[in-house]
Amino acid sequence: MERVPQEAGAAEAQGAVAGRRARRFVVGGGALVVVALLAYWLGSSGGNGEGAAPRPSATPSATLTVADVYKRVGPSVVVIQAGKSLGTGVIAADDGTILTAHHVVKGTKDVNLTFADGTKTKAVVVSSNPKRDVATLKPTELPEIVVPATLGGAVAVGAPVVAIGNPLGLTYSVSTGVVSGLNRTAEDGDLSELIQFDASVNPGSSGGPLLDARGLVIGIVVSIADPGGDEAFAGIAFAVPIGVALGGGEGDGPPGDGLAI
């Protein structure tokens, strides 16, 4: 899976627990479909399409309960059906621009959205970059009330996190955990600078927001580890940090593996 820099014996042992192999998969037609995809990144360099990336927004200061995080951010979460792939997105700007994982929408122009209020519409991919596994979508129609999530926030190992997504088609599912590590790599090293977390995510969760205790989007969920090769959640998941997803710099890391969800 992923390996951490060999700084010390303890750090090396910590990285080894992530496993030896992993793959990426998405949900399609109610079944798990294993797909061989390279990890992709979004940004100003190497991206394609038009459209400006969303920017971090004002930061709430109060710590919330998990229920309150869901109440605040749930209206910003979107169900994405792209061809046979099921994924998640999050509204990231007042104009309805949506952030999601690139591998969810890769290779198809048939992208359908369902907003939290039930509004259904088509979307087009306006920007994507394979190195960051993040894409931006532009809906053809918007719900009556657009509720963008608040982007940005510091990330610290051990801090609580909340994931909202559509795992296995179970829409608007919520899970909790902590930040397990930072600057991780996955997908044979093609994805780097990742946030490692242990909140439960599964196929269909890709593209969903990883949130901190204030309800801020700190990352976009992209993959899970699969050390046993059994396509089961092993308690290790990864998200692209929101700063990187919005066009921040890339880091260099050792090789690793990842399972896109």
Catalytic machinery residues? 103, 133, 206
SS3 content of the chain, % helix, strand, coil (to 5): 10, 35, 50
CA distance 148 to 75: 8
Nearest to 103 by CA among 123, 115, 88: 88
For residue 34, the tally of other CB atoms under 10 A from its CB is: 14
Sign, Cα dihedral of 152, 195, 164, 66: negative
Which tokens in the block code for residue 54? 């969303």
Hey, what are 257's tokens?
């593996």
Give me 225's structure tokens.
């580890």
* Residue reference for tokens 């909140």: 199
φ, ψ (nearest 5 deg) of residue 225: -85, 150
Continuous H helices in the chain: 9-16, 66-73, 102-105, 242-245
